[in-house]
Amino acid sequence: MASYADDTWTDGLGVSHTGQIYTVTVDDPILSPSTFEVQYKLPDSGGDYVVWVETSGGWEQREAEIDGTYLVFQADGDSVVFMVEESGTGWSVLLLAASGCAAAAVVVLILLRVRKGRKGNKRASR
């Protein structure tokens, strides 16, 4: 059985994610699976995707591979709650890159100001 709902959640790094969260439950009267394979049909087979799985410790990335137009990963127990997210172009990546550039610019400005201050002190002492 499978179901989904639109929701927002936060990963272990505090980054917020919004999307469709799926729940898959295996209900087999004969077998009680300890693990099972989930095959998720991708909306676009040309992209890069990340699988997030809800665990008792919070949301964690799960290793997955693309098989044709499906994203395939392993799940534990008889139920899994997961979200598939396109990676590499998300706002969190752009925000992280912009923050890194801003931090580098601040460091450069501080170094320039320190160098300028040292040159000024040498001239004043002559």
How many independent structural domains does the chain possess? Answer: 2
Return the percentage of the chain with pLDDT > 90, whole number: 21
Residues 53 and 115 in one domain: no
41/79 same-domain check:
yes
Say if residue 101's pLDDT is above 90.
no
pLDDT digits (tens, 9 = 90+) for 23-81: 998 887 777 778 889 999 988 767 788 999 998 888 899 999 999 889 999 998 888 99
Same domain, 40 and 100: no
Shared domain for 70 and 15, answered yes or no, is yes
Tell me: pLDDT of 22 over 80.
Answer: yes
Pairwise CA distance, residues 62 & 57, whole Å: 13
Q: Is 82 in the same domain as 96?
A: no
Q: What CA–CA distance (Å, rounded) separates 20 from 75? A: 18
How many Cα atoms within 13 Å fall on the side-chain side of residue 18? 1
Domain of residue 57: give its range.
Answer: 2-89
Both 68 and 118 in one domain: the answer is no
Q: What is the pTM of this model?
A: 0.61
Q: Are 21 and 82 in contact (CB under 8 A)?
A: yes
pLDDT of the residue at 52: 92
Go through the chain and tell me how many residues it has.
126
Higher pLDDT, 56 or 4: 56
Distances (CA, A) of 11 to 18, 54, 94, 102: 11, 9, 17, 24
Continuous segment of H or E residues that includes residue 43: none
7, 57: one domain: yes
